[in-house]
Amino acid sequence: MASNAPTFSPLYRQIKSLIVQALESGEWRPGEAIPSEQELAARFGVSQGTVRKAVDELAAENVLVRKQGKGTFVVSHHDPRQFFRFLRLVPDDGSLTQPQSVPLDCWRAKAGQEAARVLQIPVGDPIIILRRVLKFSGKPVVLDEIYLPGEVFEGLTLDTLKEWKGSLYSFFETRFGVRMLRAEEHIRAVAADRMAAETLGVKEGTPLLSVERVTYTYNDRPVEWRRGRYLTTQYHYHNELT
């Protein structure tokens, strides 16, 4: 077993970290199958049951996905089923059209106090700020302002963004190898400021949902901070409590 495995945790947790390390290093890429439980058991020198327990947890966390009769795969943002994992806004009428992402602008800046704190980078480090609109059936419904650590997303430009046809997270995955694993959202009601009002085609002061999100990759490392404004007259944020 690798000597850098963390101590004082159950064996399956140590195996889980080793699998995460391999994923993080890009040994198995999004959409690809990982080795069988038997092969992983041999590699790490543990029982298949221990590997299974580690894989169980990674599947529950949506890092891996088991496909019956086919094996275990690295979850990819290209999978259409992943799309609404991070976007909880759905039309009231129940229709399920894939929204279209329209980039508005993209510029470089230095991290201020707040961006530095949220992204866990030093104040003054390069960040990339981008704004985009999400259109549902051609109508603007979401205005997002997105803050990214410049080091991770080096080379991101408005043009490359505009050329991309899929979701933003599939773009991040393909171009920068960044996988979004989990996010925390803070949701409030706010009055539309002028920019949001103009972009979404409503009056200033219209109540909008403010969705502030921090998104994490492997090892709970924050790689995105975004502030969204959602117009919720014909759409709602759907949440399941269990």
Q: What is the binding site for a second copy (CB under 8 A)? A: 61-62, 85-86, 88, 181-191, 205, 207-210, 212-213, 230, 232-233, 236-242
List the beta bridge partners of residue 67: 71
Phi, psi angle pair for 83, to nearest 5°: -60, -50
For a second copy, give the closer residue by CB, 69 or 155.
Answer: 69
Euclidean distance between CA atoms 29 and 73, whole angstroms? 9
For a second copy, give the closer residue by CB, 22 or 187.
Answer: 187
Task: Tell me the closest approach of the beta carbon of residue 82 to a second copy, in angstroms.
Answer: 11
Task: Tell me the closest approach of the beta carbon of residue 61 to a second copy, in angstroms.
Answer: 6
For a second copy, give the closer residue by CB, 159 or 240.
Answer: 240
Task: Tell me the closest approach of the beta carbon of residue 224 to a second copy, in angstroms.
Answer: 12
For a second copy, give the closer residue by CB, 35 or 91.
Answer: 91
Q: Where are the alpha helices (DSSP H) in 25-63?
A: 37-44, 48-60
Task: Tell me the closest approach of the beta carbon of residue 152 to a second copy, in angstroms.
Answer: 20
How many CA within 13 A on the CB side of residue 45?
Answer: 4
Exposure b/e, 110-140, CB count within 10 A at least 16 = b: ebeeebbeebebeeeeebbbbbbbbebeeeb
Nearest to 175 by CA among 32, 30, 27: 30
